[in-house]
Amino acid sequence: MSSTTVPTTIAKFELKMGVATREAYGQALVELGKSNPNVVVLDADLAKYTFSAKFQKEFPDRFFTVGIAEANMVSIASGMALSGKLPFASSFAVFLCDKGYDQLRMCVAYPGVNAKFVGSHGGISIGEDGPSQQAVEDYALMCALAGFVVLNPSDEFCARALVHRMAEHVGPVYMRTGRPKAPIIYGPNDTFEIGKAKQHGQGRDAAIVACGLEVGYALQAQAQLAEEGINVRVLDMHTIKPVDEAAIAKAAEECGAIVTAEEHLLDGGLGSQVARAVAKSRPVPMEFVGVQNTYAESATPDQLMEKYGLTAPFIVKAVKAVVKRKK
């Protein structure tokens, strides 16, 4: 699979905020519910916040709340899938992945059950709720489950489209959504495929591979670097597993340097996936922007993203460092 290139006015890129990807998830569920009567939705007493409540309002007979019991929710979703339903189960990412992991492994991954899971409030951008509710390990946990597809959309249009791709895909899927509003990057006519990155720009000095909210920061960094004469491309790697190895190999060959950016611990996240692909195709210098082997604090989303080095200036710094290493 290869990436698709999205036209981007690099020098004039500005972040314009849309809705949160969690809200886009709720909207897409309603669309699925109208077109597919086998779609059922489960939630662990957080439907208001995951936005699965939108589905509950439209299809109350196909909505199931299990209370604060993520492990049970995963098992129920598995049983529903084995009974011919198409279940979407959601909760906060930290609760779904941590509390439901044994069931995700034994009831879903091992038998390859066609069930879909969505972890809301991913990363540290949830802000003031603090580290007990900040999922910074979910990519690593879910990528470690054999057969799982792992997704993280960058904006509302990407999120809505990927929910539909989840429904079409046969097999287990996990998608992370976010609490804050996300910058608008795409439009309603943009298309998305599992395992196929979206490329912004044709720069050959370096490539930035990002996912989730980091795509917006990467595009800001791209614009700033262009003003300084450094031309980079941005790959929106909305599919963390299976990662788009063809797009990564092409970026390594044409750019000779890669930076990854993710709202996740560097251990086992997007950077690890990309580095493995680079090692297989064409080893090049790499730098990694992400959470550095720590848990965050309680603060506003903007304060946390800045303190833990996830905003555009840190991506710019990483690009400059990797370009220098290349030379």
Indicate whether 10 pLDDT > 90. no
**172 within 8 A of 114, measured Cβ to Cβ:** yes
Indicate whether 277 pLDDT > 60. yes
Confidence of residue 234 (pLDDT cuts 50, 70, 90): very high
Give me the DSSP letters along 193-242. Answer: BTTB-EEE----SEEEEE-TTHHHHHHHHHHHHHHTT--EEEEE--EEET
Indicate whether 148 pLDDT > 80. yes
* Token output for 119: 């972890």
Residue 70, pLDDT score:
96
70 is catalytic: yes
pLDDT (mean) for 251-255: 97
Structural domains for the chain? 4-15+191-326 (3.40.50.920), 21-176 (3.40.50.970)
pLDDT in tens, 22-51: 999 999 999 999 999 999 999 999 999 999
Residue 1, pLDDT score:
40
More confident of the two residues 171 and 9? 171
pLDDT in tens, 255-268: 999 999 999 999 99
Confidence of residue 326 (pLDDT cuts 50, 70, 90): confident
Q: What is the DSSP letter of 258?
A: E
Residue 327, pLDDT score:
73
| CA atoms of 27 and 293, how far apart (whole Å) | 35
Give me the DSSP letters along 116-155. Answer: EEEEESBSSTT-TT-GGG-BSSHHHHHHTSTT-EEE--SS
Residue 237 CA: distances (Å) to CA of 81, 82, 214? 28, 31, 10
Q: Is 256 helix (H, G, I), strand (E, B) or coil?
A: coil
Q: Which of 23, 70, 137, 263 is catalytic?
A: 70
pLDDT in tens, 55-94: 999 999 999 999 999 999 999 999 999 999 999 999 999 9
pLDDT (mean) for 193-213: 97
Residue 241 CA: distances (Å) to CA of 86, 141, 143, 273, 312? 21, 12, 6, 8, 24
Residue 4, pLDDT score:
55
